[in-house]
Structure formats: structure tokens, C-alpha cells
Amino acid sequence: MRYTPDQTREFNRLTGHFLEAAVVQNHRATEELRNVIRFHEWRYYVLDDPLISDFDYDRLYKLLERTEAAYPEWASEESPTRRVSSDLTESFATVDHLSPMLSLENSYDLADLEAFDLRVRKLCGLAANEALDYFAEPKFDGGSIAVIYENDCLVRAATRGDGARGEEITANARTIRSLPLRAAFSSLGIFRVELRGEAVLSKQRFHAINLQRETDGLPLFANPRNAATGVLRAKDPSETAARNLDAFIFQVSHAEAQNGHTQLDAFPTQASWMEQLDALGFKVALADRKVCKSIKAVEDFVGQWTSRRDAYFYDIDGVVVKVNDLSMQQRCGSTAHHPRWAVAHKFQARQSSSTLLGVEFQIGKIGSITPVAKIAPVQLAGVTVSSVSLHNEDFIAQRDIRIGDQVLVERAGDVIPYIVKAFPELRKGDEKPIAFPSHCPACNTPLVREEDEAAWRCPNDRCEGKRLQCMIHHASKDAMDIDGLGKSLIERFYDLGWLADLSDLYSLDYEAIAALEGMGKKSAENLRRSIEKAKDNPLYRLLHGLCIHHIGKKIAQRIAAQVEYLPDLAQWDAERFMAIDDVGPVAAGNLVRFFANPHNQQMLRRMEELGVNLRAKDDDHPQASGSGGIFHGKTILFTGTLERMGRDEAERLAEKLGARVLSAVSSKLDLLVVGRDAGSKLAKAQKLGTVEILDEQAFFDRAGSQ
Ligand code: IVH
């Protein structure tokens, strides 16, 4: 069935209601909850366009399970809890699985994992101190498949369907190159075998496909899973072939000898089966899995994958933990829904829906106007999010986002949260378009938008809003790194009329500061010390802190390496600036204008009088790069959080070994080093496909091999 817009809105309302409910009141409400779950299953499995996160879906599902267990008289044979979710349609022949294709129980935190361990131990009759090995590996996010080999040949492939019966997709599965068409099971005495696995699409392929679809004006896929599951059931196998799917195998569900005897115990453990399948030519996550000696070791493994997932070639949404010993698995058995010997530990949700309450327009340090969405607070990967950048006018227009809309918000890795899309089908009619201002919210000057720029900007050099933001940037960690002089203190000084331009930051009246409420002598003295210390900074920090459009830290460093005394830059013409790497005509023009401006010259003179260093220091002249260094001639970029050393330090090390550090991912980039929670830079590098991606360990291994 399809759902009407009215029904969609009603189910959305009921979803919110049930997510807040601890219990379900009566029989009628239980049936209502079942309908809500059926609706979300349809959105997820049929439309490939879920309205809620997997996490919220699981909460609804568990609420229903609890209710049906507590009140069997309210249960129903047709309940979503009585079957595994189905992807059956009428276009394919339906076939029986050799054994039911079950789902997995989910775990969301360490307490769930420990409870799983206790349950398993009880079922296996093991005491807490007895050895029990777990087999742990990534949980691939794609479409489940079951493949049968007979006489060493792939004879049938099917989707999961309702768990008992699936859709026959042999012709499509044969196009998946990582699925061997022949495999020597007979060498193991096996005549027929059924394998379970996941058809997936690599992130790199997914980005390339979406790029092409964008060019062709086709709707984009939301994620690799949607791009994989859809084409798995394509009517024309050449469509499946063109998408380049991969298939990971993670379970042997049936194995029999010629005489009909089961051979499932041919290998004693999950790990040994996987090694055998690897030897037979199947794609198994051999390098990415681990046999863990205890649930604590599983927890460590989960922790590693929480950081590693972004750098991984495939989308994964958790870690699957299985009892390694197959005889122990048998002792545990299964429910109608899931095996008791396995659990899927899900990573924290990164997407959630919320309501767009309003939009604020913020001015930046160079005058760009950024629309910021205020949303009803949501939890994303452990952080409460209530403000989300909408980037620019085009971003809003492309997504047709309106105030009052239900929106899908995502926060992945170190990427700042963003709005993936709005749900127009949930509109009630009173949503309002977002009106972009025509004048600066701070100084009311008409905004301008240059041809090749996405942002509207305030062109007024003396705009108060812009100036305040520039001061905040100037003192920030990235620029002058003035400890203790953060946004709120600068705003306070600014409101008191103490800050007309940047040089005023270096002539503050510390007695007046000590007298401010909440400050006192000690805080004022600390602040004075940090400011005095900053006066002695290397030149590139000051240059970066001047808020010249297009002059980031990297370019500031390159300029500082070529000038002795900052005011000398007033003599440079655009050509000379453009001789520096990554300085284009626009940046060069901005630099020339900045240093020719008498106000700015005067401001720099005053800074110098107040003791601020305007001369290049040792730090501004990195030692001539080791031309024999291991990274000689390579460009490199670091992203995400490094564990072993700060990013600055790692960059210096790379430079010492001959690399040139870039500030953005482009076709010029050779190496990307990926730390914890890497985000958009990694995605972009994967999309490009020409960048070598190293994790932190690999980088230090190479650096250390010098
Ligand atoms: S083991 C009884 N291992 O997750 C099922 N499943 O949510 C044994 N999945 O239907 C499955 N990666 O399609 C297993 N490494 C992995 C997996 C995995 C993805 C899928 C599988 C299953 C679903 C359950």
C-alpha cells in the first residue's frame, strides 16, 4: 500500500507520541503502534527514504515487543515483531531460504554488550572467569544476500525477503565481481552450501555515481546502502553490473555433503570458516575482524572502529559480535527474530529529524552572511545540536527548506552538523520560505554577491559586526592564540566601547578589567600575561589574524617565510604575491588593498608601538625541507584528530621529511592523513580517487622508517 500525505503527517505525529511514551496504554494504542512501525518499515524498505533514525525505529520496535510480552492479549499474528522485515515485491520469483535468514539484536552501549556476554555465558553454562572467544567484525551497511553453491557453482542468489523466503536475484548477483561464480567447496567434501553476506557499494563508487547523476540531472542517492539495495533488484542485470557492487560474506548458514549429511561442523569456529572462505576466493573482512578473548577486548575493538569508520572504504553502521565457537553457537540457539549468539553493536546515530524553528543571519570576520538554522534540539553522535549552518542562499534554495519544516539533520565525524533535506510531505501549509536579507544585519549596508562566490557579503570596511568577528578570530587559537580572550570577553569589551580596532587589544586597561563583575585582579593579570606573550608571536600568526579575505593560515605562513618586516608588504604588487603558492589574483588583490590602506598602516604602526612583533622570526622560516626526506616532492594534508601529536607538530614533521602541507583537498594533493572523526576532507579525497589515504599509524610508520 502507499500512504497519503495526511496519513504520513499523522504517522509522524504518532511517532513523536510513542517515542515519548514509556508504556502503551491499551489494545487500540498497541495496534496504532504496530501501524506506525509498518509505516516506517515501508519508508525504509520500499521507498528507501526513512523518516526516522534506525535508533528511533528500534525504540519503537522495542516498545512494541515489551508491550506484546507484557499483554499477550494485545498481540497479533500480523505484528511487525512476528516476522523479519520484508523486501518482497511482485517483480521477482520468490524462493525458500535453506534456513531462516534472521535479523540481529542491537546493542547501543557497553552495558548492552556486557548484558549480552552475561546472557551468552548463561546459555553456554560458562562462569564469568571461563574463557569465551568472540568474533567481531564491521557491520556492513548494504543489502543482505544469500547465495547457494552446488557442485562448486553459484546456482542461486536471493535477497532476505521476509526471512523465510526471498527474491531470486541470481542474474544480478552474478555480475558482482567479488562473488566467485565457481568455488572449490568439493575439496572440503561439501556438495551444497548456502552463504550469507551483504552486497555493498564502496564510498568512492557511491560519490562517483552521485557526481554523474548530478550531471545527468537525476535524483541523488542518500547513501551507499540505497544505491546498492536498489540496483540489487534491478530488472536488467547490466544495471547491477554497471554499479560495481561488492559482496562481503560473513556466515555459512548451510553446508551438506553429497550424501545429504550436514557438514556445518567441518570447521569448528567462525574464524576458521572465514579463513577457509577467504582461501576459496570470497571477500571476507579478514584484515578487519578480530577474535577477541573477552567482552572487554570486544569493547576495545568497538572503540577502534568508532574512530576508524570514517576512513574505511565502505559504510558501516556498527560492529557485529558473534560467539566464535560454533558448538557454543548451537547451544545458544535462536529466537524467531535473531540468533542468541550474536549482537550488532550500533554506532551512535548521526542522523535525526527535527523541526526548523527559525533562521538567524550571522556575519563573519570578512563580512560573509551565513544563515543559521535554529532547530529543536536533537542528540547526534553524543552531542546536543540546536544550531545548524545553512551555508548560503543556494543551499537553502536547492533543498527548498522552509521555516516550520521537519528536516533531516546529520553530524558525521568532525563535519559540522548540516541539514540533509527537508520533508515536504510532512508540511501542514503554514511553513514559511526563508527570506534572505538584502542589507547587512549589523550595519544595514546593501549586501553584495560576487560572481563566483556563494555568499552574500557586507562590503562596508567599517562594519561593526564584521570588526567584532575579526577581533574574535584575531585572538583565537588559530591566529594569535591569546589564552583566556574568548568570544564572550571580546564581546563584553566591545560593548564597553574599548575596542575600535585590533590594536586596542594590545592596550587594554587591566585595572578597569579587574573591576568588571566576575573578573578580579587575578583574571586581569592572567589576561595581561597571555596578551604580552602573544605580542611575541611569529609573524604568520599576526598576518593570519588580520582577517584578509582568502588569507588562511597556510598562505600566511608562506608569505611570512618571504618577508622580514610586515609593513614592507605595502611595497609588494599583485604579481609578487601571486608568485606564492596558492595565492590567486583575488587573494593578491585583497593583500595589496589591505596593505595600501592608510587605516591599516596606522593600525600596524600602533601595534608595533605597543610591542607587537612585526618581524619574521625563526618559526616563520621552516628549515629547508630535507630533499632526501621520505615525503620529498609530495603534498600532504592532515584531517581529524591525531592521537600521537598535535596537528601542527605532525605538519612540521612532514615538512621536515620533504612534504609540502596543503590546506584543502584538491587534485594537487598526494597524501591525506586521517585521524579520529575525520569528515568532509576524507569524503572529498575518496570522491577524487587520486589521493593516497593513510591512517595515523601508517603515517608515523612511514615517517619513522626514515
Ligand atoms: S551476521 C543471523 N555479520 O546485518 C544473522 N550480519 O541487522 C547473522 N550484516 O541481516 C548475520 N554486516 O545482513 C552479520 N558482519 C556482519 C554483518 C551482518 C552486516 C547485516 C546482515 C543482517 C543484518 C542484521
Q: Mind listing the pLDDT tens digit for each residue in 362-404? A: 999 999 999 999 999 998 877 889 999 999 998 898 889 999 9
Confidence at 687, pLDDT banded by 50, 70, 90: confident
CB of 159 shorter than 6 A to ligand 1? no
Please give the distance, rounded to the nearest whole angstrom, from the Cα atom of residue 409 to the centre of ligand 1: 26
Confidence at 1, pLDDT banded by 50, 70, 90: low
Percent above pLDDT 70 for the chain: 96
Do the beta carbons of residue 411 and residue 350 sit within 8 Å?
yes
In the DSSP assignment, the letter for residue 434 is: P
Please give the distance, rounded to the nearest whole angstrom, from the Cα atom of residue 334 to the centre of ligand 1: 14
Average pLDDT over residues 272-287: 91
Do the beta carbons of residue 165 and residue 264 sit within 8 Å?
no
Give the predicted TM-score (pTM) of the model: 0.61
pLDDT at residue 49 in the model: 79
CB of 102 shorter than 6 A to ligand 1? yes
Q: Which helix (H) or strand (E) holds 11?
A: helix 5-20
Confidence at 21, pLDDT banded by 50, 70, 90: confident
CB of 137 shorter than 6 A to ligand 1? yes
CB of 209 shorter than 6 A to ligand 1? no
Beta 143-150 vs 153-159: how paired, if at all? antiparallel
pLDDT digits (tens, 9 = 90+) for 531-576: 999 999 999 999 999 999 999 988 999 899 899 999 999 999 999 9
Q: Which helix (H) or strand (E) holds 694?
A: strand 692-695
| H-only helix segments in 191-264 | 203-215, 224-232, 237-243
Confidence at 264, pLDDT banded by 50, 70, 90: low
How far does Cα 445 stand from its chain's mean position?
38
pLDDT digits (tens, 9 = 90+) for 104-123: 999 988 999 999 999 999 99
Measured CA to CA, the distance from residue 291 to residue 274 in angstroms comes to: 12
Percent above pLDDT 90 for the chain: 62
CB of 140 shorter than 6 A to ligand 1? yes
Please give the distance, rounded to the nearest whole angstrom, from the Cα atom of residue 145 to the centre of ligand 1: 10
CB of 103 shorter than 6 A to ligand 1? yes
Do the beta carbons of residue 134 and residue 163 sit within 8 Å?
no
Closest residue by CA, ligand 1 atom 18: 139
Average pLDDT over residues 207-229: 86
Which residues, other chains included, contact 77 with Cβ-Cβ below 8 Å and sequence gap of 6+?
A: none
Average pLDDT over residues 38-50: 78
Residue 626 has pLDDT above 60, yes or no: no
pLDDT at residue 259 in the model: 82
Burial 596-617 (b: 16+ CB within 10 A, else e): eeeebeebbebbbeeebbbebe
- Atom of ligand 1 lying closest to residue 322 CA: 1
- Domains with residue ranges and CATH for the chain: 5-82 (1.10.287.610), 105-346 (3.30.470.30), 351-433 (2.40.50.140), 464-609 (1.10.150.20), 635-704 (3.40.50.10190)
Which among 141, 144, 284 is the best mutation to test ligand 1's pocket, defined by most ligand atoms within 8 Å of the CB?
Answer: 144
Closest residue by CA, ligand 1 atom 22: 103
CB of 250 shorter than 6 A to ligand 1? yes
Measured CA to CA, the distance from residue 368 to residue 366 in angstroms comes to: 6
pLDDT digits (tens, 9 = 90+) for 323-340: 999 999 999 999 988 999
Measured CA to CA, the distance from residue 313 to residue 284 in angstroms comes to: 14
Average pLDDT over residues 87-99: 77
Closest residue by CA, ligand 1 atom 23: 103
Kindly report the average pLDDT of the chain as a whole number: 90
Highest average pLDDT, of 40-54, 87-101, 656-670, comes from 656-670
CB of 363 shorter than 6 A to ligand 1? no
CB of 342 shorter than 6 A to ligand 1? yes
Residue 216 has pLDDT above 90, yes or no: no
pLDDT at residue 76 in the model: 85
- Atom of ligand 1 lying closest to residue 334 CA: 2
pLDDT digits (tens, 9 = 90+) for 382-391: 788 999 999 9
- Atom of ligand 1 lying closest to residue 198 CA: 13
pLDDT at residue 84 in the model: 47
Catalytic residue among 62, 122, 139, 293: 139
DSSP codes joined into one string, 313-372: SB-EEEEEEEESBHHHHHHH-B-SSSBTTEEEEEPPP-EEEEEEEEEEEEE-TTSBEEEE
- Atom of ligand 1 lying closest to residue 197 CA: 13
Active-site residue flag, 293: no
Measured CA to CA, the distance from residue 58 to residue 345 in angstroms comes to: 13
* C-beta atoms surrounding 146 within 10 Å: 25
